[in-house]
C-alpha cells in the first residue's frame, strides 16, 4: 500500500506542473510563442519538437483544441493562453469586460480539465499606462483566481515599461522586446521602478527581411536574427543581466503565412513580418540552433557566414527630387515670360496681380508644368512621411484598428513606393484643379477671370512645397529618422498649404474683387479643407484610441 501511495505521489509530481508559488523560481522558464498550425498532427509534432529541444512553456491563443491540450499535458509543457483582446484603449477594455469575463470562464474550465494550462493572458498590447485600465484586469484576475482556485496565473503583454500602471493587479506582466536594440536595458527599466513584481519576457525576437539574402553583413538577415538570440537569450536566462525574468518567450516558433488574416497575433503586426525560428513552410532558420543550444545549455557560441553586403539600391527618392528641381530649372531657362514674371511675383506682387487680371502674361503651359512638379513633390513628401512613421509601433497600432481590407491596401502601397508617389501626386493635382474650377465659377459673375488665370493664382503660391520636398529627400535618405522629424515635416507641409490657400484667396480678391461671402465659401469648399473636416469627423469616434496613441508616443 505504501508503495502504491508513493508511486501515485511521484506520478502526480511528474504530470502536474509546479504550483503558482514556483513561478517565482530563480531560473526563468524557457518558452516560445506559437500559432497553432492547420491540422492536429502538425500541431502535436510541433509540441513534441519543442519539448525535445528544452522548451518548458508555450504561449499561444485560447482557441487551442482539446486534443492539443491533452498532448501538452502528456509532455509536461506549461501553456499560457492569450485571450483575443488586442491593442485596446482603456475605455475599450472596459467596454469588452463582459465578453472577456466569458472568455476567462472558458479558460478556467480548460485549466480545470488540463494541468498544462498555467497562465491566461488578459490582453495584448493594450493601454496599460492608463490607470483606468486596471479595473478591467482586476475583475478578470479575480474571476480567474476564483475559477481555478488560484492555480493559474493572470498576465498581460505590452511594451510600456516605466509608465505601466496596472502591474499590481495581475500576477505577472510580460514585456514585449521585439526589435529592441537593448532588451536588457529595457527590462532593467522595468525593475528600476520600486515595488514592482518580477516581470517576464513576452516576446524576444528580431525580424527577418528575406531568407534569400544571407550573412551577418546583411541587415535583418537570418544570421543577424540568430546573432541577436545568441547575444541576449543567455543573458536573460542566466544571471549576468542583473534581471532574472519569470519566463522568457522567444518570438516566434513559425512565421505566419501572409494573407492569413485570421491567424493568431496578426493584429500585433499588420505587416506580418517574419520572426519565426522556422519559415512559414517549416524550413528552420539558424536561430533555431541558437535557441535549442541555449535552452539545453549545450552551446554558448555559434558560427555564421558573414556573407557579402547587399548591393546598394539606387537613391530613387533623391533622383526623383532632383528631377523635379531640374524641371523647374529647365522651364525657367526656356521661358522668357516665366523669367519675367518670377521677379514680379516675389518683388512686385501688385504688378503680378495686374498682369494676371489683364491676361497679358497668363502662362498656362508653365502653370501646368508647375502643377505636375507640385504633385510629384507632394507624392515624394507623403512617401517620406509614411516610410518614416511605419517603423514605429504607433503606426502598426493605429493600422491594426482598421479593417482587414484597408490594412491590406495600405501595406500594399507602402511596399510599392512609386505607386504611392503617383497616387498621392494625382490626388494632390486633382484637388488643386477642382479648386481652380470652383474659384472660376464663384468669380465668374464679378469679373471675367478664366480658369487659366485662376490656375496661376492657385499654383504659384505653393512654391515653398519644393523646400518641403527637399526636407523629405533628406528624411528619406536618413534610415534612422525619428518620429519628431516626421511630425515636423508634416507640420511644415500643412503650414505651407494653409499659407498658400490664404494667399490665393487674397490674390483672387484683388484680381476679381469677389465678396467676403464668396471668399468664405471658397475657403470652406476647398477639397483639402473638406478632406480635413471628414478626417476630423471620422476620428471623433476614436477618442479613446487617440488617447492611447498619445500615451504610446509620450510614455515609455
Q: Is residue 484 predicted with pLDDT exceeding 70?
A: yes
The per-residue pLDDT for 496 is 94
- Number of alpha carbons in the 13 Å side-chain half-sphere of residue 8: 5
Q: C-alpha distances in angstroms, 228 versus 179, 206, 245, 276, 291?
A: 10, 7, 18, 13, 11
Distance separating alpha carbons of residues 93 and 518, to the nearest angstrom: 48
Q: Is residue 145 predicted with pLDDT exceeding 90?
A: yes
Q: What is the pTM of this model?
A: 0.83
CB contact at 8 A, 206 and 224: yes
Q: What's the Rg (C-alpha) of the chain?
A: 30
Which one, of 79, 86, 3, 21, lies nearest residue 46 by Cα? Answer: 79
- Per-residue pLDDT of 300-359, as tens digits, reads 778 888 888 877 777 888 889 999 999 999 999 998 888 888 888 888 877 888 877 776
- Per-residue pLDDT of 401-442, as tens digits, reads 887 788 888 888 888 888 999 999 999 999 999 988 888 887
H helical segments located in 390-450: 393-400, 404-415, 417-443
Residue recorded with cell 546573432? 227
CB contact at 8 A, 176 and 125: yes
Judged by phi (left if over 0) then psi (alpha if -120 to 50, else beta), residue 229 lies in alpha
- Per-residue pLDDT of 193-246, as tens digits, reads 887 888 999 999 999 988 888 888 888 999 999 999 999 999 999 866 677 899
Distance separating alpha carbons of residues 222 and 205, to the nearest angstrom: 12
> What are the φ and ψ backbone dihedral angles of 31, each rounded to 5 degrees?
-135, 175
Q: pLDDT band at 5, cuts 50/70/90?
A: very low
Helix (H) or strand (E) holding 122: strand 117-124
**Residue 149 forms beta bridges with which residues?**
none
CB contact at 8 A, 153 and 549: no
The burial class, CB within 10 Å (0-12 / 13-18 / 19+), for 2 is exposed
Q: pLDDT band at 465, cuts 50/70/90?
A: very high
% of the chain with per-residue pLDDT over 70 = 91
Give the number of residues written for the chain. 556
Average pLDDT along the chain: 86
The per-residue pLDDT for 239 is 65
Q: Is residue 11 predicted with pLDDT exceeding 80?
A: no
Q: pLDDT band at 260, cuts 50/70/90?
A: very low
Pairing of strands 172-178, 153-158: parallel
Neighbours of 465 (CB within 10 A): 22
Lowest mean pLDDT segment, chosen from 108-112, 118-122, 296-300: 296-300
- Per-residue pLDDT of 48-62, as tens digits, reads 999 999 999 999 999
The per-residue pLDDT for 405 is 80
Distance separating alpha carbons of residues 207 and 390, to the nearest angstrom: 15
The per-residue pLDDT for 200 is 93
Amino acid at each position: 500500500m505504501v508503495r502504491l501511495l508513493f508511486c501515485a505521489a511521484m506520478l502526480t509530481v511528474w504530470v502536474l506542473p509546479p504550483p503558482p508559488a514556483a513561478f517565482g523560481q530563480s531560473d526563468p522558464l524557457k518558452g516560445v510563442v506559437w500559432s497553432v498550425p492547420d491540422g492536429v498532427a502538425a500541431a502535436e509534432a510541433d509540441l513534441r519538437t519543442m519539448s525535445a529541444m528544452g522548451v518548458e512553456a508555450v504561449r499561444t491563443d485560447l482557441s487551442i483544441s482539446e486534443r492539443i491540450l491533452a498532448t501538452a499535458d502528456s509532455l509536461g509543457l506549461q501553456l499560457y493562453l492569450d485571450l483575443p483582446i488586442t491593442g485596446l484603449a482603456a475605455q475599450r477594455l472596459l467596454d469588452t469586460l463582459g465578453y472577456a469575463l466569458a472568455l476567462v470562464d472558458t479558460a478556467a474550465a480548460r485549466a480545470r480539465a488540463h494541468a498544462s494550462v498555467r497562465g491566461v493572458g488578459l490582453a495584448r498590447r493594450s493601454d496599460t499606462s492608463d490607470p483606468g485600465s486596471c479595473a478591467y484586469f482586476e475583475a478578470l484576475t479575480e474571476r480567474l483566481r476564483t475559477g481555478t482556485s488560484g492555480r493559474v496565473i493572470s498576465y498581460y503583454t505590452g511594451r510600456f515599461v516605466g509608465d505601466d500602471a496596472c502591474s499590481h493587479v495581475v500576477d505577472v506582466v510580460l514585456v514585449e522586446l521585439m526589435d529592441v536594440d537593448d532588451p536588457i536595458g529595457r527590462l532593467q527599466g522595468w525593475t528600476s521602478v520600486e515595488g514592482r513584481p518580477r516581470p517576464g519576457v513576452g516576446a524576444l525576437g528580431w525580424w527577418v527581411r528575406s531568407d534569400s539574402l544571407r550573412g551577418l553583413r546583411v541587415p535583418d538577415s537570418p544570421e543577424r536574427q540568430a546573432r541577436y538570440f545568441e547575444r541576449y537569450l543567455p543573458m536573460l536566462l542566466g544571471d549576468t543581466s542583473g534581471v532574472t525574468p519569470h519566463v522568457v518567450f522567444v518570438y516566434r516558433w513559425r512565421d505566419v503565412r501572409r494573407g492569413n488574416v485570421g491567424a493568431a497575433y496578426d493584429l500585433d503586426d499588420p505587416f506580418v513580418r517574419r520572426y519565426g525560428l522556422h519559415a512559414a513552410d517549416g524550413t528552420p532558420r539558424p536561430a533555431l540552433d541558437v535557441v535549442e543550444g541555449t535552452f539545453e545549455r549545450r552551446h554558448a557560441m555559434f558560427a555564421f557566414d558573414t556573407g557579402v553586403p547587399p548591393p546598394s539600391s539606387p537613391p530613387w527618392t533623391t533622383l526623383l527630387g532632383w528631377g523635379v528641381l531640374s524641371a523647374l530649372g529647365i522651364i525657367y531657362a526656356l521661358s522668357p515670360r516665366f523669367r519675367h514674371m518670377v521677379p514680379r511675383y516675389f518683388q512686385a506682387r501688385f504688378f503680378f496681380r495686374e498682369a494676371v487680371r489683364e491676361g497679358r502674361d497668363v502662362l498656362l503651359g508653365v502653370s501646368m508644368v508647375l502643377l505636375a512638379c507640385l504633385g510629384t513633390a507632394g507624392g515624394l513628401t507623403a512617401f517620406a512621411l509614411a516610410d518614416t512613421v511605419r517603423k514605429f509601433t504607433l503606426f502598426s497600432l493605429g493600422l491594426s484598428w482598421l479593417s482587414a481590407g484597408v490594412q491590406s491596401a495600405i501595406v500594399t502601397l507602402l511596399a510599392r513606393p512609386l505607386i504611392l508617389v503617383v497616387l498621392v501626386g494625382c490626388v494632390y493635382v486633382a484637388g488643386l484643379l477642382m479648386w481652380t474650377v470652383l474659384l472660376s465659377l464663384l468669380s465668374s459673375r464679378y469679373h471675367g477671370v478664366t480658369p487659366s488665370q485662376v490656375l496661376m493664382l492657385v499654383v504659384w503660391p505653393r512654391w515653398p512645397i519644393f523646400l518641403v520636398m527637399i526636407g523629405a529627400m533628406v528624411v528619406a535618405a536618413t534610415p534612422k529618422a525619428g518620429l519628431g522629424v516626421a511630425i515636423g515635416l508634416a507640420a511644415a507641409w500643412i503650414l505651407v498649404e494653409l499659407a498658400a490657400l490664404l494667399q490665393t484667396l487674397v490674390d483672387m480678391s484683388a484680381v476679381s474683387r469677389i465678396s467676403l461671402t464668396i471668399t468664405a465659401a471658397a475657403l470652406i469648399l476647398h477639397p483639402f479643407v473638406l478632406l480635413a473636416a471628414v478626417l476630423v469627423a471620422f476620428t471623433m469616434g476614436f477618442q479613446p484610441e487617440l488617447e492611447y496613441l498619445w500615451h504610446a508616443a509620450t510614455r515609455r
